[in-house]
Chains A and B, each alone.
Chain A
Amino acid sequence: MSETVLDVGDLEAGYEPGVPIVRGASITVNKGEIVVVLGPNGAGKSSLIKAIAGLVPISRGKVLLDGKDITAAPAHTMVRLGLAFVPQTENVFPRMSVEDNLKVACGILERRQSPARIEEMYAAFPDLLRQRRTPAGNLSGGQRQMLAIARALIVHPKVLVLDEPSAGLSPKFVSMVFEMLSAIRKSGVTILLVEQNAKAALAIGDRAYVLVEGKERHEGVASTLWDDPVVAELYLGQRPLHRDSARRTETGGAA
């Protein structure tokens, strides 16, 4: 078993007191892994990772990042602690240029480091370099997602947390986003993501959790989870998932 980066234990969280949406969820993310959280609509997937990122009040449980308790840390301190979050929508500053979107995220870096780090992001995402003066609101959906991910990565996070990165994108961009995440993991970044698009997410993931009614009900190696009848039952009610489509999954599983 490798080193645990993110350790979420028995988490209960919700927007209103006494109305938990996340009900005792426990997940772990190990160094270098891509962990996927799946689940039916309304299972509390987004609320779970928003609670981890400090955006939804937590009423019980613990969030440990590299062994450090960050349960009560305010949202704006998360990047400094090493957790970078990419929201599902409205994840760029629309009237700021691409470059200013990146610059504004460099607040926690040393001033002299920022320009080099921005150049590194441009090297990783050449599309952004071409559009550096464009207001982020004018980017295409895929480029916007790219900018949101670059904005999160720029501070060297210990874990990158994404809320449905493929939501609302056309199929071409969906595969682009997942290829991008796969490449980011290869560069050594640990990733936790919530996805509706189970097939594509499991294809790049190492492990996955199935969240039902605010609690993780099943955990497994991503490549085998697709064929797991328990998952099909939890996820879609009864209907099994399309069996033969998971073949292109990379084998490997948990590192």
Chain B
Amino acid sequence: MSLQFIIDGLLTGSMIGLGAIGVTLTYSILRFSNFAHGDFMAWGTYATLAVVGTISAMFGKVAPITPFSFGWPLIVALVVGVGLTALLALLLDKVLFSRLRKQEQAIIVVMGSFGASMALRSLLEFIFTSRPTYFSRAIQIAMPVGFGIRITPDQIALLLLTAVLVLGVHLLTTRTQTGRSMQAMSQNPALARIAGIDVASVVRVTWVIGAALACVAGVMIGVLVQIRPLMGFDMLLPMFAAAILGGIGSIPGAVLGGLIIGLAEAGAVQLIGAEWRAAVSFIILMAVLIVRPIGLFGVRER
């Protein structure tokens, strides 16, 4: 039996986990399930792709950094793309979500996010067509690392990037004043205001973090798989599953949930059959919810 599924699972899990952080933060701080989160992923990826295109138009063809499939344009474009995705989220909050939040009914905001999701997705198909595209068509040679496992340099780089980002976000939310304000908002928004926390700025930080990680996850999918307008929407259910599995509001939980779901999906493809891919993660999710309804790292509401 090949253990390759472990690497595949970790990679899928990283993408799911990075996305799930945004889902779990939006849920615990803004108190709604953001169904447009997957579309932030896709928009971030296309924004990054557009910046890569602009850079090669300006500087001509740039050779990739060996041993990777990408050169500095992608790294620069990813930074710009992260900024643009954050702007998109802030803009969407200003024109849509902040108005809907005033009704103080979560379901209205959730439905609004459904609408936003469809609009964003259709707009992408309109601008870029629904044909898949790629950051690079170069083929990478996977290196054997023992136990029948092979890994490409791109995959190693992206796994490391995920680890750095997760650690960074974890430290930000647990060790800084901004992070404590976010925790305070999620635990008791009324008291947070009384304690002098500016709710509007916490909301902005939440969107920026969620959107930035969504963009990175999307670009990872773009580098390792392909770029499609539906790429984010297809990740929506695994991301929600990961956030719930890990316990809503918990960042380590979201990442661990993502890895479990990623590994389970990859394992199912290897051991049972590809058609079970989606089913297995949801069987695990349901089992966890029956045994521990608050998720792995969840906390009971009061």
Chain A residues packing against B (C-beta within 8 Å): 53, 55, 74-80, 85, 87, 90-96, 100, 103-108, 137, 151, 155
List CB contacts (< 8 Å) of B272-302 with chain A. 299, 302
Interchain CB contact under 8 A, B177 and A107: yes
Which of A53, A74, A107, A151 has most chain B Cβ within 10 Å? Answer: A107
Q: Which residue of B lies closest to A100 (CB)?
A: B180
CB distance from B187 to the nearest CB of A (A): 5
* B196 partner residues in chain A, CB cutoff 8 A: 76-80, 105, 107-108, 155
Q: Which residue of A lies closest to B183 (CB)?
A: A96
Interchain CB contact under 8 A, B197 and A104: yes
* A79 partner residues in chain B, CB cutoff 8 A: 194-196
Interchain CB contact under 8 A, B194 and A55: yes
Contact with A along B158-195 (1 / 0, CB 8 A): 00000000000000000001001101100110111111
B199 interface contact, C-beta 8 A:
yes
A55, A78, A94, A108: the one contacting B190 at CB < 8 Å is: A55
Interchain CB contact under 8 A, A76 and B191: no
B198 interface contact, C-beta 8 A:
yes
Task: Given A100-B183, A103-B177, A107-B181, check contact A93 B197 (CB 8 Å).
Answer: no
* A103 partner residues in chain B, CB cutoff 8 A: 177, 180
B184, B191, B195: the one contacting A90 at CB < 8 Å is: B191
A224 to B218, alpha carbons, bound, how many Å? Answer: 71
A-B contact pairs, 15 of them (CB 8 A): A53-B194, A55-B190, A55-B194, A79-B196, A93-B184, A93-B187, A94-B187, A96-B183, A100-B180, A104-B184, A104-B195, A104-B197, A106-B177, A107-B196, A155-B196
A24 to B270, alpha carbons, bound, how many Å? Answer: 74
Which of B181, B190, B193 has most chain A Cβ within 10 Å? Answer: B193
A77 to B196, alpha carbons, bound, how many Å? Answer: 6
CB distance from B205 to the nearest CB of A (A): 13
Interchain CB contact under 8 A, A87 and B190: yes
Interchain CB contact under 8 A, B198 and A93: no
A104 to B194, alpha carbons, bound, how many Å? Answer: 11
Interchain CB contact under 8 A, B191 and A91: yes
Which of B191, B193, B199 has most chain A Cβ within 10 Å? Answer: B191
CB distance from B183 to the nearest CB of A (A): 6
CB distance from B192 to the nearest CB of A (A): 8
Task: Given A76-B197, A76-B199, check contact A87 B191 (CB 8 Å).
Answer: yes
Q: Which residue of B lies closest to A86 (CB)?
A: B194
A222 to B149, alpha carbons, bound, how many Å? Answer: 80
CB distance from B179 to the nearest CB of A (A): 9
CB distance from A144 to the nearest CB of B (A): 12
CB distance from A147 to the nearest CB of B (A): 12
Task: Given A94-B302, A103-B177, A104-B177, check contact A75 B187 (CB 8 Å).
Answer: no
* A104 partner residues in chain B, CB cutoff 8 A: 177, 180-181, 183-184, 195, 197
Interchain CB contact under 8 A, B197 and A107: yes
CB distance from B56 to the nearest CB of A (A): 44
* A75 partner residues in chain B, CB cutoff 8 A: 193-194
Interchain CB contact under 8 A, B194 and A93: no
Q: Which residue of B lies closest to A136 (CB)?
A: B187
A155 to B194, alpha carbons, bound, how many Å? Answer: 12
Interchain CB contact under 8 A, B191 and A93: yes
A155 to B196, alpha carbons, bound, how many Å? Answer: 10
* B197 partner residues in chain A, CB cutoff 8 A: 76, 104, 107
Q: Besides the contacts A76-B192, A104-B195, what 15 more A-B pairs have beta carbons closer than 8 Å?
A: A55-B190, A76-B194, A76-B199, A77-B196, A78-B196, A90-B190, A93-B183, A93-B187, A93-B191, A104-B177, A104-B197, A105-B195, A106-B177, A107-B181, A151-B195
